[in-house]
Amino acid sequence: MSGSGFSAIKVSEHVWWVGAVDWALRDFHGYSTQRGSTYNAYLVMGEYPVLIDTVKAPFRDEMLARVASVANPADVKVIVSHHAEMDHSGALPQVIDIIKPDKVYASQMGVKNLAAQFHDSHDITAVKDSETLKLGGQSFTFLETRMLHWPDSMISYLHEDELVFSQDGFGMHLATPKLFADENDPAVLLDEGRRYFANILLPYSPLVLKLLERIQSLGISIKTIAPDHGPVWRKDLGTLLGWYAKWATQKPENRAVVAYDTMWQSTATMARSIADGLRDGGSDVAVMPMNCMTRSDVMSELLCAGAFLVGTPTINNTIFPTLADVLAYARGLKPKNLIGAAFGSYGWSGEACAQVEATLREMGVELALPALKLRFVPDGAALGQSREFGRAIAAKLRERTGS
């Protein structure tokens, strides 16, 4: 592909964006990406060009065309791979074969993980944590960010441009023609930034807080944060850093997530009465029918919630599949500081609620009330009980959040 179809976009004095926008992406390893995504790669133009990360394999030629719009790809002498996951390294083996760089760098774990994924003979050099290298006349300092969110993850600081290549950190799945965050709708940035944090980074929240402290202690000036997904931040960096500090702390808010599904509407009716009870008690509530919402929607709402209510009918002695899915996913992402409860309708054996409670306990969710189980179709009194259940949860939320 020649360079004419795609071009690079200038980010800072030496840095150009040479990534790809994936408008069609709706499922990123089980995370529903409602607004698509981008795979950001960057070219640092110095004495010779340095390529920072690559893209998902099918976008290889688009990335190379963007590179070709500012430099001869054959002149790229160095590639830095910050993360071995396929959305950034998928094109790497072929790009190495095409460009033939003198050196490819990755973190120590990156060298191992790239080898375990590609099983090829490419020679990749490890950089150490805190190591500073002059590449193409520009100074890069590398910081390992193990388990943020893979063992191989690292970020780097380009001293000359006061720019952080932050990899998946500070990223979001958002396809947009506007490269810079300040050109995009702030409400969309908040929504997608939060969604990304909740679905990818949440289990590693303590490491996020440590990284924020480490960056602070380095005393470096940061003008630009250039992540590998979504927009580049050149203004309002305090807003972005503030979001991360808040999300990683997971302070519960006076807000409940009510996730449920239903076969014949009984559990759905209970969910609606419970939501009314929560509202009566002064709590905000996200009502989430799982026939039309995704596990990623639930995680995004849970990030700033204080209560997690799970409603399921009993089906064949167990939990309804959509809720089993939500619970399996949420358990892995380890949300903290939540109270919770189960509710639902059943016909005869009614095992589902106890199974939900067992999982909530395993997740460290504090059970605020015993499950509310109702047989078959709830009558007026039963719905009154459901509404009371919502009010009681709201009272507990108020106690915990002081609001």
Ligand X SMILES: Cc1cc2nc3c(=O)[nH]c(=O)nc-3n(C[C@H](O)[C@H](O)[C@H](O)COP(=O)(O)O)c2cc1C
Query: Interface with ligand X by CB under 6 A: which residues?
Result: 262-267, 313-317, 345-350, 376
The verdict on whether omega for the bond into residue 149 sits within 30 degrees of 0, i.e. cis, is yes
CB of 391 to ligand X, least distance (A): 21
Residue type, position 70, single letter: V
Active-site residue, selected from the candidate residues 22, 62, 87, 301? 87
Active-site residue, selected from the candidate residues 82, 88, 149, 173? 149
Cβ of 100: how many Cβ atoms within 10 Å?
A: 11
162 is catalytic: no
Cβ of 283: how many Cβ atoms within 10 Å?
A: 26
With CB cut-offs between 5 and 8 Å by kind, which of Fe ion, ligand X, none does residue 168 bind?
Fe ion
119 is catalytic: no
Instruction: In whole angstroms, give the CA distance from residue 265 to residue 74.
Output: 63
Q: Segment contacting Fe ion (CB under 5 A): 11-19, 86-94, 109-117, 274-282?
A: 86-94
With CB cut-offs between 5 and 8 Å by kind, which of ligand X, Fe ion, none does residue 316 bind?
ligand X
Q: Which is nearer to ligand X, 24 or 292 (CB)?
A: 292
Residue whose structure tokens are 């992406």: 25
Active-site residue, selected from the candidate residues 14, 82, 173, 229? 229
29 is catalytic: yes
With CB cut-offs between 5 and 8 Å by kind, which of ligand X, Fe ion, none does residue 263 bind?
ligand X
Instruction: In whole angstroms, give the CA distance from residue 54 to residue 113.
Output: 16
Dihedral of CA atoms 341, 344, 346, 351 in degrees, nearest 10, equals -30
83 is catalytic: yes
CB of 358 to ligand X, least distance (A): 17
Helix (H) or strand (E) holding 202: none
Q: Which is nearer to ligand X, 155 or 271 (CB)?
A: 271
Q: 32, exposed or middle or buried, with CB in 10 Å at 0-12, 13-18, 19+?
A: middle
Residue 87 sits in the site that holds Fe ion (CB under 5 A): yes
Q: Which is nearer to ligand X, 228 or 261 (CB)?
A: 261
Residue type, position 76, single letter: V
255 neighbors 284 (Cβ within 8 angstroms)? yes
Residue 168 sits in the site that holds Fe ion (CB under 5 A): yes
CB of 326 to ligand X, least distance (A): 16
With CB cut-offs between 5 and 8 Å by kind, which of Fe ion, ligand X, none does residue 94 bind?
none
Q: Which is nearer to ligand X, 267 or 359 (CB)?
A: 267
Cβ of 187: how many Cβ atoms within 10 Å?
A: 8
| CA angle centred on 39, ends 34 and 40, rounded to 5° | 130
Tally the residues of the chain: 403
With CB cut-offs between 5 and 8 Å by kind, which of Fe ion, ligand X, none does residue 321 bind?
none
Q: What is the DSSP letter of 59?
A: G
Residue 85 sits in the site that holds Fe ion (CB under 5 A): yes
Which residues are identified as catalytic? 29, 83, 85, 87, 149, 168, 196, 229
Contact residues: Fe ion, CB under 5 A? 85, 87, 168
